[in-house]
Amino acid sequence: MSGTTSVVRVADLRKTFVVPERDAGLKAAVRSLVRRKTKEVHAVDGISFDIAPGEVVGFLGPNGAGKTTTLKMLSGLLYPSSGEASVLGHVPSRREKDFLRQITLVMGNRNQLQWDIPAADSFELNRAIYRIPADEFRRLRDELVELLDVQDLVRKPVRNLSLGERMKMEIVGALLHRPRVLFLDEPTIGLDVTMQKRIRTFIAGYNLRYGATVLLTSHYMKDVQALCRRVIVIHHGRILFDGDLSALGGRFAAYKTIGVTVSDGAADLTPYGEVIHRDGDTVTLRVAKADTARITARLLSEQAVADLTIEDPPIEDVIERVFAEERAE
Amino acid sequence: MRLEVAQGVSPIEPPPLPEAGRLKSMLHLYAVSAKTAVVVGFQYRVANYFYMIGMLTEPVIYLVVWSTIARSQGGVVGGYTPGAFAAYYIVWTLVRQMNIVFTPYGWEWRIREGQLAGALLRPVHPIHYDLADLAGWKVVVIVMWLPIAVVLSLIFHPSIHPTGLGVGVFAFAIWGAYLIRSMNLWLLGMITFWTTRVSAIFELYFALELLLSGRLVPLSLMPAWVRTVAAFLPFKWTFGFPIEALIGQLNTGQLFFGLAMQAMWVTLGALAVKLMWRFGVRRFTAVGT
């Protein structure tokens, strides 16, 4: 990807925190009065990537991997320890007004709307903050409210809304200035399946309509699968994978699943692999990736096969395996 | 199921153009913030009333004590009659409300809950929200204070001799007091960028303010050296000055000098806030929340 066309550019970006450290107990507490121990935590440890205009990229990793720290550096909330970051040609840590007017950071667990008043009043405040012309504001507000189907909710005090309804309002408020870059940190956290789907559809619609660039973190793989062709996997502050979501399984999955329908439903298929599911005549086998071709050939020659499919394991399993392997190292 | 997304092929539309004029936009921000605060203030009018009534305890105790002392000393202490004390402490109740600003303790909450991070994402300095928001609340307070002042006057019979100029200066001075104290407490609050355990510093500040502002007792009753020290500090311009302006204790020169001093302290405070904010945010963005 050419660096000149990138909306987000990150080169060898690092963030190191110095945190106090002491053992439990009174003795350790007294000792810490005279001798304070600290340790360095490398939250982000030399990551590099580019994101093109309009791209929707999934940023995956377990808790503490460095995802939120990266998003905070890219939105100007954290100053990097070293390395370079550029968003829309701006250095985020300078927090220039022109930069702030073109980005948004939505954190699923943070509430920015005023609690006691209807969201509509908070939206008016955002209009004043971002200096949005009145007609443009009305048009965009109505459009976003319609897209998220929250017409009936904007006049209710925020404290009377459910978690999902509040999240929708947060998103409307965060997009009223029509940001070109969206940093979304767990936007669907704690929401039910229907609400998650609604928000996913909305993000896709916003991206399509405005060509906005999106960097999304989520623990829900459905969010990532629905929205992101490209994913960046980060763990212990380092990038483990940056590429097509479809290639992630090929890179990290050590096995494949073979779905086979045989005429003799009672046949014992355990010699071919681990039977993980059986539904009538159809059996799902888990086999080592390297053995897939050989076992498929054996099945076809030795059994009366009516149908056969070979699939990568579910992406959740792949991600889980990536993190499990890292933990084991 | 994968949803249809642009994935790097759509042209990017420019963001909406800002409205012309920074000043106009800033005034609009203040108007909207203040309006919002007024709405919230009136929505919680009963709670606010109880809050205001609860805050009457302090001045009523001062008033009763000083009135008793005045009567025991032939009716006057340091030029104050019981009626003059009543006037002082009734106006005190409004000035105290105007002195309520975002506290240093609120800063700890603001950082801990991530509210400051949210404010940093916006293209406006966060002090403007605080100033505008609490200014709106002051409007509610002033309206709600009027019946309280009437009741207190019926009970304590204040002796008050305001001049037209004094009333006009008071109208500006209470907002000057609000701005000075906002700057001072923002400076104090920003210490939390470096450490969250600063209660002792806050308490020292509040003790000095209590003694040197005219809150505990009119400054004219204090020893001369205290008055001299107070003249070089911002506290008296946030408390004693607005009260004395309204109850008719200051001549024309003193009234305008007081406004000039307020303007000076607001300017100094704003410059100090600007400087400390720059270093504080650098620190905040270095260590995170």
Concatenated DSSP letters of A126-183: HHHHHT--HHHHHHHHHHHHHHTT-TTTTTSBGGGS-HHHHHHHHHHHHHTT--SEEE
Tell me B162's DSSP state. -
- pLDDT exceeds cutoff 50 at A1: no
Q: Please indicate whether residue B168 or residue B109 has the higher confidence score (pLDDT).
A: B168
- Taking the C-alpha atoms of residue B43 and residue B58, their distance in angstroms, rounded to an integer, is 26
According to DSSP, the residues that pair with A284 across neighbouring strands are A259, A277
**CA gyration radius, chain A:** 24
Closest CA to B48 of B132, B181, B161, B144: B144
Q: Which residues of A touch B130 (CB under 8 A)?
A: none
Q: What is the crossing angle of helices B240-247 and B252-287, to 10°?
A: 150
- Bridge partners for A59 per DSSP: A217, A232
For residue B196, CA distances in Å to A26, A111, B201 come to 22, 22, 11
- Chain B: residue whose CA lies nearest to A175: B15
Q: Which tokens in the block code for residue A92?
A: 């985020």
Alpha-carbon distance of A85 to B31, in angstroms, equals 37
Q: What are phi and psi of A173, to 5 degrees?
A: -60, -35
Q: What is the CA radius of gyration of chain B?
A: 23
Note the pLDDT of residue A122.
87
pLDDT (tens digit per residue) in A159-171: 888 888 888 888 8
Q: Do A207 and B5 touch (CB under 8 A)?
A: yes
Treating both helix axes as pointing N-terminal to C-terminal, what angle do B164-189 and B104-112 enclose, rounded to 10 degrees?
A: 40
- Give the pLDDT band (50/70/90) at residue A157: confident
Instruction: Sort out which chain B residues have CB atoms less than 8 A from A136's CB and list them.
Output: 16
* pLDDT tens figures, B120-176: 999 999 999 899 889 888 888 888 889 999 999 999 999 988 899 999 999 999 999
Nearest to B12 among A98, A211, A229 (CB): A211
Percent of chain A with pLDDT over 70: 96
Mutate to test the interface with A, among B42, B111, B122 (most CBs of A within 10 A): B122
Minimal-distance CA residue of chain A relative to B281: A77
Is residue A3's pLDDT more than 50? no
Q: 3-state DSSP helix/strand/coil percent for chain A, to nearest 5? A: 40, 30, 30
A178 has a chain B CB within 8 A of its CB: yes
Residues of A in contact with B13 (CB under 8 A): 178, 210-211
Q: Give the amino acid at B94.
A: L
Specify the pLDDT at position B11: 47
| Tokens (6 digits) for A314 | 């579910």
- On chain A, the residues whose CB falls within 8 A of the CB of B28 are 128
Closest C-alpha to A235, from A308, A300, A320, A132: A320
How many CB atoms are closer than 10 A to CB A246?
Answer: 12
What is the average pLDDT across A113-131?
A: 87
Instruction: Please give the Cα distance from A267 to A280 (Å, whole number).
Output: 11
SS3 A282: strand
Domains belonging to chain A, first-starting first, are: 3-14+45-249 (3.40.50.300), 254-311 (3.30.70.1150)
Say how many C-beta atoms besides its own lie within 10 A of residue A236's C-beta. Answer: 17
Q: In the A/B pair of chains, how many CB contacts fall below 8 A?
A: 147
Inter-chain touch A124–B32, beta carbons under 8 Å: yes
Residue pLDDT, tens place only, A28-47? 777 777 777 778 889 999 99
B-chain residues near A204 (CB < 8 A):
3-5
CA separation for the pair A20, A18 (Å, rounded): 7
